[in-house]
Every structure is written in structure tokens, then in C-alpha cells.
């Protein structure tokens, strides 16, 4: 997507809205970073074409015999949908290479447009396929949450998946989930079941004509901290039907962020290892380059609902924390509240040469390793990092470290394909927010800068030297900011 595509009337309204909220300096860097990402993604359409199923592969998938055929209920809340978009959505479901599905369309329209479109579409199908498409005209428009609940009531499958009325699944979406379900089959006596209970995939956007694809969203494996910062799971989310129903379905008080709230209440019933991320684009979100409201601030209700959904989730877990906006709408900061944490500060050299006795003599709950070359820029960095460590599952946390030129020196580390730790965003302009703002959001990492991190003492094992146990999470928190002096 080029600069001419971005510089249209509605996107300029977005820029104006961002400028009003955040000022000229931040707006300048946001626009520059957005254009840089567009340039990096300019060949994405080619990659999409390369990933499409050829007929031989599609046929192989259609013939695949699974140990157990799970049935999927695709939930679609509809409201006065454009016929061409509704047909495109139905085409994508009918084209699935895994065929044990049902399409549940809950229609809250105040016209006959959806009903007539479904009827006309089904008239062209064979009897078997036609029987899988179930349309229910609701007695009124119940809003996005209420209409979604109407579709959930209709579901008869083992798993439910959420699909917007104008979006598109890839042909292999359900097949890829079945492959994962099959890989997780376990036996308990004479009962076989999969250990995986919820799934989500990568996604992208497509224009109204389905000829351009952009904004590829490559997601990490399950990360509760990132989910609290932003609904990164979003599409294509699939979960066991009984879990969805136990969660209570969708709640209208969170309209605009009803999916975020629903996902929280589903995953709260699960262990992280029961949630599987499929690193493939299985969902195309139909979105014109200019398909936002005339006034970008008109969706502020959705962002407020997002904050409330996160806070409700934290309250259910009895976690004392505040949720606030960041400079990017729809992306949030979680401030975990801590009261007078007991923290011992030492240099990396002191840490490296700790004897077992001297380690055991440490009375404080937390140890802040702070190199002589590191200068804290955040006055409240102790409470910021210690608040994250209050959570029993967290063992270590580090902040964002800038170099003397104002570029990112450390924003955590992740393992690459060769199982080597790779620094995230090193060398990136410190004013940039990173891929989908992740350099500016709290999230899980595999490692931290050795000379700037806070560690929970109880998460450390002493084996010749103090070592962080791998049973605990390691987190990155950009709201604790540091700078290398040289």
C-alpha cells in the first residue's frame, strides 16, 4: 500500500484525531512509521497468492481421514449486510476443505435483505450443503452481542468460531484447526479427546473487491499480557462450544469490545497450553482502505468498552490494577498496584558473583539488577516493575532501554527459528511503537537485558549461580524506561 493510498480524506481525519490527542511530535513519528511499514509490506499480495491452495492440495485436504471428525459451528451475527459481502462470506464457508461444519446466521436486520440473500444463495446449492446453512430471523436487532448470542443458541457443533458477516475464511481454515486437534488427541481409558480447547490464527485485511490484501497480522503464541494490552487474538477465534456457553456468551454492556470480553471469559477457564496459535492467515477482515467512520473518534465507545472488558477480567482474577489508554486507541496500559515493595538493588557484577549463602541472606522479595551504565528515565520504575512481579506466575521483568542516540537498545529478547535469543527492535527509533505497537506494550518475552531487570527471589534457583526457573514468565514492560549512558 503506497503513500497515495494512505493520504486519503478519512485517513487524514485519523491523523488529525491523533494529532489532537498526542501532539505534533508523536504524530510525525506515527505517520513516518506507518509509511515505513507499508513499504516493508509492499510485496504482501504476492505472498498471499503463493499461499493459496492449489487444486491438488485442496483435494488432498478434502480426502483426509481424521481420527475423529469434530463439527464446527460458524457463528455469524448479521444486520442489513450487503448481498455481495454476505455471499462472499458464505462462499468462503462452503469452500472449506474440511466439510463437517454448519453456518449459523442470526439475522437482526430490519429489512429482508439478509433473509432474501441467504434464500437465493441456498437455492443454487445441493441439498447436503444447503442443509448446513441455518438462518434465523431474530425478532429485533439485538446489537452485535445479542445477535451473536442468537447464533450461539443455534450452534450444534463441538466447536464454535466467530465470523463477521462480511469477512472471509481461507479455504483451509477449518482443516488447519482439525490438524491441530488431531495432533493433540489423548486417551483416557476408552475416551479419546484433544488437549486443545481454543484456537486462533493470524489474519489480514482485504479490500471490498478482495483483490488487495494488507495489514498482515502475525501473532505470537498465547500471551495473556499482550491480550490485556490489546485484543490481538481477535480473528479467527475458535473454542469448544461448552466453554463458550459456560462463559455466558456475549455481553451487550461490552458492545464494541464484545469479542475481547468473550475471549477473556473463555480463556479464564483454560490453561495456557490448551490454547493453540496457528501461525497462518486463515481469516481476511474485509476493510476498505477508507472504511472507518467519518469521524475517527466516533468509535471511542468501543475503546472504552475495551478498557472495561480488561478491568472486568482483572477483577474476576482478584488482580488489583488500573487500565488506561496509550497514545494508540484500542491499545492499553495495565498498571499493577503494589504497596512499598521490598527491592534490593545491585549491579550485574554483584549478581554474577553471589554465593549461595549471600543469595539466601537477601531479605527483600525482589532484586533489581541495574548496571552502572544504565540510567532510569522513569521515576516510578521500581513500582512499575515490582507490580508485574506481584503476579505468582511472573519471575522477571525488564523495561525499554534506549541507547545514547535515542534508539532502542533492548526491548526484550525472543528465540528465533534456530533457538537463539534475538533482540527485539534493537536499533529502532525510540519514538516508534514497533510492529502493531508491540514495542510500546507489555508482553511476554524469552529473555531480558542481563544488566537491567527485576527478578523475584522466590523464582530463582541457585545452581552454582542464581538462575531464573523456567517455570515462571519473563515480561517486557515499556513503561519502565531506561537509557545507556555510553
Domain boundaries, the chain: 3-42, 49-298, 343-484
Q: Is the pLDDT of residue 139 over 80?
A: yes
The CA distances from residue 457 to 187, 375, 382, in Å, are 39, 23, 15
pLDDT over 70 for what percent of the chain? 95
Strands 213-217 and 343-346: unpaired
Q: Is the pLDDT of residue 65 over 80?
A: yes
Task: Check residue 123 and give its pLDDT.
Answer: 97
Angle at 156 between CA 260 and CA 149, to 5 degrees: 35
Task: Check residue 406 and give its pLDDT.
Answer: 95
Cβ contacts of 360 within 8 Å, gap of 6 or more? 462
Residue 115 has φ and ψ, to the nearest 5°, of -55, -45
β-bridge mates for residue 323, sequence order: 334
**Strand (E) or helix (H) holding 467:** strand 466-468
Task: Check residue 290 and give its pLDDT.
Answer: 44
Task: Check residue 146 and give its pLDDT.
Answer: 97
Task: Check residue 288 and give its pLDDT.
Answer: 57
Q: Is the pLDDT of residue 410 over 70?
A: yes
Query: pLDDT tens, 115-126?
Result: 999 999 999 999
Find out whether 187 and 195 touch, Cβ atoms under 8 Å: no
Q: How many CB atoms lie within 10 A of CB 298?
A: 11
How large is the average pLDDT for residues 190-218? 92
β-bridge mates for residue 187, sequence order: 192
Rounded Cα gap, residues 307 and 332, in angstroms: 7
Task: Check residue 18 and give its pLDDT.
Answer: 73
Q: Is 222 helix (H, G, I), strand (E, B) or coil?
A: coil
Task: Check residue 181 and give its pLDDT.
Answer: 97
The CATH fold assigned to 343-484 is Spore Coat Polysaccharide Biosynthesis Protein SpsA; Chain A (3.90.550)
Task: Report which of 441, 389, 484, 1 is spatially closest to residue 207, judged by C-alpha positions.
Answer: 1
Query: Among 141-155, 290-304, 322-336, whose mean pLDDT is lowest?
Result: 290-304
How large is the average pLDDT for residues 262-279? 98
Q: Is 464 helix (H, G, I), strand (E, B) or coil?
A: coil
Task: Check residue 295 and give its pLDDT.
Answer: 47
Q: Is the pLDDT of residue 298 over 70?
A: no
Task: Check residue 198 and give its pLDDT.
Answer: 98
pLDDT band at residue 12 using 50, 70 and 90 as cut-offs: low
Cβ contacts of 60 within 8 Å, gap of 6 or more? none
Query: Among 26-30, 129-133, 300-304, 383-387, whose mean pLDDT is lowest?
Result: 26-30
Q: What is the DSSP letter of 457?
A: G
Q: Is the pLDDT of residue 475 over 70?
A: yes
Max CA pair span of the chain: 79
Phi-psi map region of 332: left, alpha, beta (phi>0 left; psi -120 to 50 alpha): beta
Query: Among 1-15, 30-44, 245-259, 410-424, whose mean pLDDT is lowest?
Result: 1-15
Tell me whether domains 49-298 and 343-484 share a fold: yes
Angle at 329 between CA 326 and CA 332, to 5 degrees: 40
Q: Which three cell numbers stand for residue 390?
A: 506481584
pLDDT band at residue 8 using 50, 70 and 90 as cut-offs: low
How large is the average pLDDT for residues 407-420? 94
Confidence (pTM) = 0.93
Task: Check residue 37 and give its pLDDT.
Answer: 76
- Look up cell 456468551; give the residue: 249
Task: Check residue 250 and give its pLDDT.
Answer: 97
Q: Is 252 helix (H, G, I), strand (E, B) or coil?
A: helix
pLDDT over 90 for what percent of the chain? 80
pLDDT band at residue 27 using 50, 70 and 90 as cut-offs: confident
Task: Check residue 291 and give its pLDDT.
Answer: 47
Query: pLDDT tens, 330-356?
Result: 999 999 999 999 999 999 999 999 999
How large is the average pLDDT for residues 88-101? 98
pLDDT band at residue 292 using 50, 70 and 90 as cut-offs: very low
Q: What is the mean pLDDT of the chain?
A: 92
Q: CATH number for the 49-298 domain, one of 3.40.50.300, 3.30.365.10, 3.90.550.10, 3.20.10.10?
A: 3.90.550.10
Amino acid at each position: 500500500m503506497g503513500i497515495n493510498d494512505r493520504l486519503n480524506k478519512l485517513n487524514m481525519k485519523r491523523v488529525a484525531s491523533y494529532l489532537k490527542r498526542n501532539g505534533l511530535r508523536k504524530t510525525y513519528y506515527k505517520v513516518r512509521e506507518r509509511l515505513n511499514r507499508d513499504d516493508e509490506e509492499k510485496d504482501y499480495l504476492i505472498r498471499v497468492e503463493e499461499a493459496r491452495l492449489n487444486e491438488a492440495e485442496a483435494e488432498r485436504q478434502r480426502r483426509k481421514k481424521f481420527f475423529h471428525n469434530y463439527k464446527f459451528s460458524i457463528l455469524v451475527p448479521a444486520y442489513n449486510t450487503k448481498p455481495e459481502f454476505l455471499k462472499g462470506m458464505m462462499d468462503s464457508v462452503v469452500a472449506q476443505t474440511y466439510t463437517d461444519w454448519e453456518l449459523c446466521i442470526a439475522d437482526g436486520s430490519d429489512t429482508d435483505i439478509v433473509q432474501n440473500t441467504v434464500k437465493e444463495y441456498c437455492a443454487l446449492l445441493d441439498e447436503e450443503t444447503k442443509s448446513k446453512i441455518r438462518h434465523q430471523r431474530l425478532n429485533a436487532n439485538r446489537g452485535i452481542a445479542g445477535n451473536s448470542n442468537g447464533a450461539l443458541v443455534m450452534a450444534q457443533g463441538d466447536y464454535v468460531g466467530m465470523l463477521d458477516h462480511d469477512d472471509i475464511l481461507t479455504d483451509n481454515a477449518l482443516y488447519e484447526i482439525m490438524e491441530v486437534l488431531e495432533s493433540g488427541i489423548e486417551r483416557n481409558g476408552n475416551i479419546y479427546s484433544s488437549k486443545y480447547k481454543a484456537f486462533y490464527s493470524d489474519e489480514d485485511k482485504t479490500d471490498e473487491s478482495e483483490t488487495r490484501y494488507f495489514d498482515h497480522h502475525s501473532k505470537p503464541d498465547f500471551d495473556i499480557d499482550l491480550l490485556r494490552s490489546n485484543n490481538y487474538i481477535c480473528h479467527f477465534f475458535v473454542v469448544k462450544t461448552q466453554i463458550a456457553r459456560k462463559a455466558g456468551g456475549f455481553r451487550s454492556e461490552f458492545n464494541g469490545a464484545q469479542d475481547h470480553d468473550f475471549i477473556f471469559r473463555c480463556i479464564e477457564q483454560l490453561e495456557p497450553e490448551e490454547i493453540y496459535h496457528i501461525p497462518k492467515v486463515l481469516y481476511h477482515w474485509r476493510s476498505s482502505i477508507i472504511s472507518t467512520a467519518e469521524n475517527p473518534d466516533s468509535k471511542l465507545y468501543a475503546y472504552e468498552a475495551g478498557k472495561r472488558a480488561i478491568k472486568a477480567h482483572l477483577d474476576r482474577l482478584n488482580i488489583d490494577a488500573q487500565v488506561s489508554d496509550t497514545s494508540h486507541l484500542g491499545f492499553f496500559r495495565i498498571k499493577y498496584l503494589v504497596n512499598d515493595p521490598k527491592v534490593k538493588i545491585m549491579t550485574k557484577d554483584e549478581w554474577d558473583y553471589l554465593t549461595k549463602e549471600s543469595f539466601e541472606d537477601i531479605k527483600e522479595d525482589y532484586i533489581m539488577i541495574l548496571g552502572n551504565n544504565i540510567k532510569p528515565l522513569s521515576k516510578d520504575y521500581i513500582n512499575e516493575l515490582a507490580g508485574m512481579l506481584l503476579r505468582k506466575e511472573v519471575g522477571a521483568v525488564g523495561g525499554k532501554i534506549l541507547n545514547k542516540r535515542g534508539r532502542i537498545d533492548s526491548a526484550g529478547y525472543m528465540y528465533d527459528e534456530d533457538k537463539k535469543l534475538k533482540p527485539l527492535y534493537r536499533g529502532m527509533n525510540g519514538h516508534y511503537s514497533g510492529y502493531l505497537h508491540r514495542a510500546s506494550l507489555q508482553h511476554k518475552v524469552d529473555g531480558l537485558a542481563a544488566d537491567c531487570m527485576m527478578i523475584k527471589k522466590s523464582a530463582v534457583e541457585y545452581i552454582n549461580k542464581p538462575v531464573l526457573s523456567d517455570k515462571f514468565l519473563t515480561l517486557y514492560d515499556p513503561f519502565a524506561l531506561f537509557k545507556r549512558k555510553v
